[in-house]
Amino acid sequence: MNLLLLFDDDFVDAHRVRLTGRRREHVMHVHRAGVGDALVVGRAGGRVGEGTIVRLDDDALELDVVLDREPPPALPLTLVLALPRPKVLNRVLAGATSMGVKRIVLVNAWRVEKSYWKSPRMSVENLLLQRVLGLEQARDTILPSIDVQRFFRPFVERELPELARGSLAVVAHPGARDECPRNVGQPVTLVIGPEGGFIDEEIASLEKAGFAPVSLGERVLRVETAVAALLGRLF
Ligand code: SAH
């Protein structure tokens, strides 16, 4: 945790927060911090600054906070992700959030197993926790949005063209003829396939919606590796 993310409910007055649970435990046992130590803090949706510990015991962590800087700039990227296996989903959400993605769409695809949609990892609480972990990792405060789309075709045909308007629209596909462009200097809408890949019909629908298939080369990468490699290359 490189930043302690604070929410409105944590504030007991304008400059003081009181934390319990995961964050208190982490500061006590991982940071091994004590009264008088300063930590990097940030207010969800707001500024970043310093928190000085005024109390730390088994019940609570209290800090006096000064928020004086803006969080890092966002990545101008919308990530449309075919729902991966729950464990991988956690990693991709936290990873993409730490890289500055602010808009995530989880979409169904032919090779997405139906059970993934019912996983406890799809709970509101877990989807929030993974993004919070990503923000804490990257010292950011702006939570990305998550939009859940259970039906591939209506989403791709009716909503995706509008969502991608004004951006470079690409679908990452290992077999694609064109290579993924570099340092594009413009907003991007990036579609990532499921762990088994998109089927031909899905690639055809995406092409019809204005998406160009692009490849990172002949190595087939894991979803989380592909996302990191694609973002590093596009920006
Ligand atoms: N067996 C599948 C592999 C899918 S990998 C197939 O051959 O299509 C899961 C997703 O990661 C892919 O759908 C794609 O979006 C992305 N990906 C993985 N390796 C890639 C590569 N070399 N180039 C482009 N995208 C890649």
pLDDT digits (tens, 9 = 90+) for 73-93: 999 999 999 999 999 999 999
Task: Give the predicted TM-score (pTM) of the model.
Answer: 0.96
Which class does domain 77-234 fall in? alpha beta
Tell me, in angstroms, the distance from the centre of ligand 1 to residue 78's CA: 18
Summarize pLDDT for 180-193 with one digit per residue, the tens. 999 999 999 999 99
Q: How far apart are the first and last CA of the chain?
A: 25
User: Which protein residue has the closest C-alpha to ligand 1 atom 2?
Assistant: 197
Note the pLDDT of residue 93.
98
User: Is the fold of 4-69 the same as that of 77-234?
Assistant: no
46 Cβ inside 6 Å of ligand 1: no
Q: How far is CA 217 from the centre of its chain?
A: 25
Domain ranges of the chain: 4-69, 77-234
Helix (H) / strand (E) element for 12: namely strand 11-13
215 C-beta closer than 6 A to ligand 1: yes
Q: What is the mean pLDDT of the chain?
A: 98
Note whether 105 and 163 are within 8 A (CB): yes
Q: What is the pLDDT of residues 112-150, one digit of tens each?
A: 999 999 999 999 999 999 999 999 999 999 999 999 999
The alpha carbon of 197 and the centre of ligand 1 are apart by a number of angstroms equal to 6
**Taking residues 44-71, what's their average pLDDT?**
98
Atom of ligand 1 nearest to the CA of 171: 15
Neighbours of 172 (CB within 10 A): 22
Q: Is the CB of 198 under 6 A from ligand 1?
A: yes
Rg, the chain, Cα only: 20
Per-residue pLDDT tens digits for 4-16? 999 999 999 999 9
- What pLDDT shows up at residue 16? 98
Pair 96, 79: CB distance under 8 Å = yes
Q: Is 178 in the pocket of ligand 1 (CB under 6 A)?
A: no
DSSP 73-140: PPEEEEEEEE---HHHHHHHHHHHHHTTEEEEEEE--TTS-GGGGGSGGGSHHHHHHHHHHHHHHHT-
Can you identify the CATH homologous superfamily of domain 4-69? Answer: Hypothetical PUA domain-like; domain 1 (2.40.240.20)
- pLDDT, tens digit, for every residue of 205-229? 999 999 999 999 999 999 999 999 9
